[in-house]
């Protein structure tokens, strides 16, 4: 019988090849920025990690800052959009009677699920977000991509806490986001302090506790006499 010929895979178009290279560049930059920040990475570093010539980087990006912005934007729209949908859904289900814990579950759990289910790529983005959140360039991007979903959460919290001052609610959110950014940083400090009992990358364990813990913090700010 004649030997069967191996079926050749379909040849990829130039557009598909460019798209694949772009994703490789974004993945490499995300990894490097997550560990060294904007100013600790060069286009040459990214090119070397991908295995391409530095000149190719300028085909896709004008400069390092445009690459940095693209890395941030690639996943920011996903997490912000998912949280906005979750908050809208929760507000509708709550029927005008939301709770602090319910709102925080919608806001926090939806984000943590992306990191739990998304593998190394999303865990790199988690570190990247934590790395840049306290930098001027990162703060600008946070404002652009996340202000709408944060203000949506604040609006639901105001409804859940009608007797609380707006100031206390904003401070409460400030503490929540600080805890979330520290979580995303995955520093390993809790691993060492707890002698391995807790690990900073165990987002499932964090998800099981964070919203409830933070809700109790909000409730502790209850106005005197109310």
Looking at the predicted structure, is the pLDDT value of residue 183 above 80?
yes
Mean pLDDT of 62-70: 95
Output the six-digit token pair for 22: 């772009």
So what's the pLDDT on residue 14? 75
Per-residue pLDDT band at 223 (split at 50, 70, 90): confident
Q: Are 206 and 111 in contact (CB under 8 A)?
A: no
CATH number (1.25.40.340, 1.10.3720.10, 3.40.50.300, 1.10.357.10) of 73-219 reads 1.10.357.10
- Locate the domains of the chain by residue range: 73-219
Per-residue pLDDT band at 17 (split at 50, 70, 90): confident
Give the whole-angstrom CA distance, residue 17 versus residue 20: 5
Output the six-digit token pair for 52: 């391409």
So what's the pLDDT on residue 117? 95
So what's the pLDDT on residue 83? 97
So what's the pLDDT on residue 203? 97
Looking at the predicted structure, is the pLDDT value of residue 225 above 70?
no
Give the whole-angstrom CA distance, residue 123 versus residue 99: 29
| pLDDT tens column, 99-136 | 999 999 999 999 999 999 999 999 999 999 998 888 88
Average pLDDT, the chain: 92
Per-residue pLDDT band at 8 (split at 50, 70, 90): low
Looking at the predicted structure, is the pLDDT value of residue 197 above 60?
yes
- Nearest to 108, CA basis, from 39, 6, 204, 9: 204
So what's the pLDDT on residue 4? 53
């Amino acid at each position: 019988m004649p030997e069967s010929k191996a079926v050749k895979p379909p040849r990829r178009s130039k557009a598909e090849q460019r798209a694949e290279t772009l994703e490789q560049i974004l993945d490499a930059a995300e990894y490097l920025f997550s560990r060294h920040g904007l100013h600790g990475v060069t286009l040459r570093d990214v090119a070397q990690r991908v295995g391409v010539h530095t000149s190719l980087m300028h085909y896709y990006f004008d400069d390092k800052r445009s690459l940095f912005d693209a890395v941030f934007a690639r996943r920011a729209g996903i997490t912000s959009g998912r949280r906005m949908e979750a908050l809208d859904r929760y507000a509708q289900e709550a029927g005008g009677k939301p709770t602090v814990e319910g709102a925080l579950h919608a806001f926090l759990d939806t984000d943590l699920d992306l990191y739990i289910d998304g593998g190394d790529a999303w865990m790199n983005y988690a570190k990247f977000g934590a790395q840049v959140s306290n930098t001027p360039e990162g703060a600008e991007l946070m404002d652009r991509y996340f202000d709408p979903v944060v203000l949506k959460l604040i609006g639901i919290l105001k409804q859940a806490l009608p007797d609380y001052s707006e100031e206390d609610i904003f401070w409460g959110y400030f503490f929540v986001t600080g805890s979330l950014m520290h979580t995303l940083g995955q520093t390993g400090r809790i691993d060492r302090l707890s002698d391995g009992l807790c690990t900073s990358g165990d987002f499932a364990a964090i998800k099981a506790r964070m919203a409830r813990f933070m809700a109790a913090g909000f409730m502790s700010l209850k106005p005197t006499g109310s």
